[in-house]
Every structure is written in C-alpha cells, then in structure tokens.
Amino acid sequence: MSRTTLVVPAQHVGSLEVPSQALDDASPVVVWLNAPTDGFCGSGRMAVPLAARSVKSAGRFLLEFRLRPFIGWLVFAAYTVMSDGYMRGLLSSVPQVVLAAALGGWLTFASNRPRQLPYRTHVGDVVVPRVHADTARRWVESNPNVRTTDDPVARPQPPLFYAVWSTVLLLGSIGVGTYLANDGREQSLAIWVAVAAVFVSGVRTALKTLPLGYIRWEPGEQS
C-alpha cells in the first residue's frame, strides 16, 4: 500500500478543505475526529477523517484527548509504586493487578493508534503522516497549496526542546540510579525497571535532536 506525508503550510491551515475519505485506508466510511495538533500546551485542533474501524479499535475519546501522551506514563508510575509496595509487603496484590490490566490496555491502545493523526511543527506547518496515496491525491486536488512528500519533515518541537528534556531524563535517571545503588537498602525490581525506562526515554528524546531521517530506522513521523 503506497503512503505519503501531507504538509499543510501554516498560512493555509484555516482555509483547508478536507475530503471525506479516510486518511488511513481511503475508505469512504469515515469517522471525523477533532484531533489536537499542537500538543498538550496548545489549543489547535483539526477535523480529520479516519476509517470507522480504526477509530473503534483505538477509542475516539483517547484519540481526541489532548493529554493522551501522559496517560501511559501515569499508569506506569502508579504500577511501579504499587509493585514496589507489594514486594515490600506493604500492599496487597489487588492494586497491582488492576494497574497491570490498565497498563496492558494502554499498550493495546498504543499499538492500535492510527499513525495518520496530524501535528503542527515548530515552524507552524501541519503534517499528516502515512496517508494513503489515493486520499493524499484528493487533498492536493482540493487544496493546491498542500504538498506531499516522502522526505523527512520538521518535528513538533525545535531541537533545543528535545536537548533539554533528554538531559533532564538522562541525568535524572542516572542520578536516581546511583543514589539507589548506594543507599544501603535493597530495591525492588519494579524500581529498577522504572529507572531503566526513564533512561531509555531520555535516549530516545536525545535522538530527536538529530534531523529526521538522519538515522535510517527512524519512522519520520510524530513522536
């Protein structure tokens, strides 16, 4: 299946005409999502059509929820705390099981999330990644200023943003790990898994300071 990336120039976002054809599979049976485009700090949204089955499997509310990226981390943090409490004999296994189920559900949602959700780059353009070629052609026909590209495009945030956050995550995880390793108490496996997860997140964030496409295996879409 041929796919491409749509780029909507910042000055033409307000006058965009969106065809009623699914971005993900070109189906005429669509559900219109009022998708956030500029992260949890902004207020921008764009109405985009996705296949009804895609929206059903991923959950419309979560797809339209602006704070969606935080949910997984919050559930993971709560699970870590509960697991640590259980391993130390301070809590029963019930909260741990409930949060494990919630975390599993979140991971299932993440794997089903359509990749065609739009995002605004740090230069103001709106990018819609991995669009079905037939749908992309209709967008360009309806909006001459919209272009398609198979080349990497700008990320949602400037490189400095990722540099700062990667530094915070990496130094924070290393600092916490060093402290825990030398405080004289045995730590639970859950705590070490959490520290490792933060470190890996820091590495991933650091890679985003590089231009998209600089590393061959990068997907070249919002992250």
pLDDT in tens, 53-78: 888 888 888 888 888 878 888 888 88
16 lies in some domain: yes
Residue 49, H or E segment = strand 45-51
Looking at the structure, tell me whether residues 169 and 61 fall in a common domain.
no
Burial class (CB within 10 angstroms; exposed 0-12, middle 13-18, buried 19+) of 93: exposed
Cα dihedral sign, 135-144-37-208: positive
Residue 117 and residue 194 in one domain: no
- Evaluate if residue 223 carries a pLDDT over 60: no
Closest CA to 125 of 5, 6, 7: 7
CB atoms within 10 A of CB 21: 21
Cβ–Cβ under 8 Å, residues 218 and 157: no
Say whether both 168 and 98 belong to one domain: no
Examine residue 203 and state whether it is found in any structural domain, yes or no.
yes
Asked whether residue 220 is domain-assigned, the answer is no
Same domain (yes/no): 135, 164 = no
pTM of the predicted structure, to 2 decimals: 0.77
pLDDT band with cut points at 50, 70 and 90 for residue 155: confident
Residue 175 has pLDDT above 90, yes or no: yes
